[in-house]
């Protein structure tokens, strides 16, 4: 399995691995449909959580068997994924029988295929504070055999600060999508911390963006179903069916908390990170909460 681990390289100014660039032409030529919904995130910001919420909102009632038989990563294809033993994200999306199609990407804004803009598709972006995001990404890279070797925590943290991890700089990613939101009205920008604080409230906001009005019972069913402990034990949502992930190293549904960074950052690392963060985010109006 270890031979699967790829190298990181510069791809059009963004650190990437071959698993997300090899299918570039097909990805860029992907034909979006007007009702497609693109779920976009920097890795480990809550992609699976929001994907599952959207899937339940659209298909929870009309096809309940989907919930017990199809893993979330097949219901919501990962557009740029191209690993030899899985169907490519593009193919999976092309033959999705559902409408709307829910499609996931970790691309920075400039890599999004142009048909999504041409078709004026709705997009949901989830951002998570940088400190918890890097901790989650570190543990993910330890357990996921198709990610580059993470090395030790201190070196990983420094590479994250430099944007030398797959999908590049966190700062550029959250800011790039945030800027786009100012001009593209069909983009709903959410925060992981808000979802933790009040999942029901954030589902309401999502519904009003999507023009959905689930009944009170349905909304309760969804809000309960997507709580961390329920998703953790749900084999269709917890990635336990994917062999590239070694859950003995770290589970996919790891902690699901705001503030776990405090268990990882030393005082010195925190100071250095804050200083670097201020420089990189000085022109941004984005505000993140590192505790709630």
Cα dist. 184→108, 118, 177, 262 in Å? Answer: 15, 12, 10, 36
Comparing CB distances to ligand A3P, the nearer of 46 and 113 is 46
Q: Is 147 exposed, middle or buried (0-12, 13-18, 19+ CB in 10 A)?
A: buried
CB of 27 to ligand A3P, least distance (A): 19
The answer to the question of residue 225 lying near ligand A3P (CB under 6 A) is: no
**Do the bridges between strand 102-105 and strand 37-41 make them parallel or antiparallel, or are there none, so unpaired?**
parallel
The answer to the question of residue 47 lying near ligand A3P (CB under 6 A) is: yes
Among 19, 39, 46, 180, binds ligand A3P (CB under 6 A): 46
Listed in sequence order, the residues at least 6 apart from 31 whose beta carbon sits closer than 8 Å to its beta carbon are 94, 115
- Identify any residues that bridge with 144 across adjacent strands, giving them in sequence order: 245
- Identify any residues that bridge with 102 across adjacent strands, giving them in sequence order: 37
Among 45, 93, 123, 166, binds ligand A3P (CB under 6 A): 45
The answer to the question of residue 129 lying near ligand A3P (CB under 6 A) is: no
Among 75, 139, 159, 219, binds ligand A3P (CB under 6 A): 139
The answer to the question of residue 44 lying near ligand A3P (CB under 6 A) is: yes
Comparing CB distances to ligand A3P, the nearer of 59 and 228 is 228
- Identify any residues that bridge with 14 across adjacent strands, giving them in sequence order: 11
The answer to the question of residue 147 lying near ligand A3P (CB under 6 A) is: no
The answer to the question of residue 41 lying near ligand A3P (CB under 6 A) is: yes
Q: How many CB atoms lie within 10 A of CB 114?
A: 11
Among 49, 189, 273, 277, binds ligand A3P (CB under 6 A): 49
- Closest among 151, 147, 185 to 166, alpha carbons compared: 147
Residue 106 appears among annotated catalytic residues: yes
Residue numbers annotated as active site: 106
Which spans of this chain sit near ligand A3P (rule: CB under 6 A)? 41, 43-49, 132, 136, 139, 226, 228, 231, 253-256, 260
């Amino acid at each position: 399995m270890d031979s699967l681990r790829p190298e990181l390289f510069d791809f059009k100014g963004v650190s990437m691995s071959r698993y997300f660039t090899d299918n570039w032409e097909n990805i860029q030529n992907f034909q979006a449909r007007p009702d497609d919904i693109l779920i976009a995130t920097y890795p480990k910001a809550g992609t699976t959580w929001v994907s599952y919420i959207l899937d339940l909102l659209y298909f929870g009632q009309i096809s309940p068997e989907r919930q017990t038989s199809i893993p979330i990563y097949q219901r919501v294809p990962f557009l740029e994924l191209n690993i030899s033993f899985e169907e490519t994200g593009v193919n999976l999306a092309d033959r999705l029988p559902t409408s709307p199609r829910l499609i996931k990407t970790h691309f920075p804004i400039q890599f999004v295929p142009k048909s999504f803009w041409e078709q004026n598709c709705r997009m949901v972006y989830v951002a998570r504070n940088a400190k918890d995001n890097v901790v989650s990404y570190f543990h993910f890279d330890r357990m996921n055999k198709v990610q580059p070797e993470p090395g030790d925590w201190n070196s990983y943290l420094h590479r994250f600060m430099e944007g030398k991890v797959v999908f590049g700089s966190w700062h550029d990613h959250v800011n790039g999508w945030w800027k786009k939101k100012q001009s593209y009205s069909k983009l709903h920008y959410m925060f992981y911390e808000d979802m933790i604080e009040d999942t029901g409230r954030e589902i309401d906001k999502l519904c009003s963006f999507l023009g959905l009005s689930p009944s009170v019972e349905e909304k309760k069913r969804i809000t309960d179903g997507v709580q961390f402990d329920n998703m953790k034990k749900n084999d269709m949502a917890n990635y336990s069916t994917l062999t590239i992930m070694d859950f003995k190293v770290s589970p996919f549904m790891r902690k699901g908390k705001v503030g776990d960074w405090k268990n990882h950052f030393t005082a010195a690392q925190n100071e250095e990170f804050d200083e670097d963060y201020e420089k990189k985010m000085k022109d941004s109006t984005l505000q993140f909460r590192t505790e709630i």
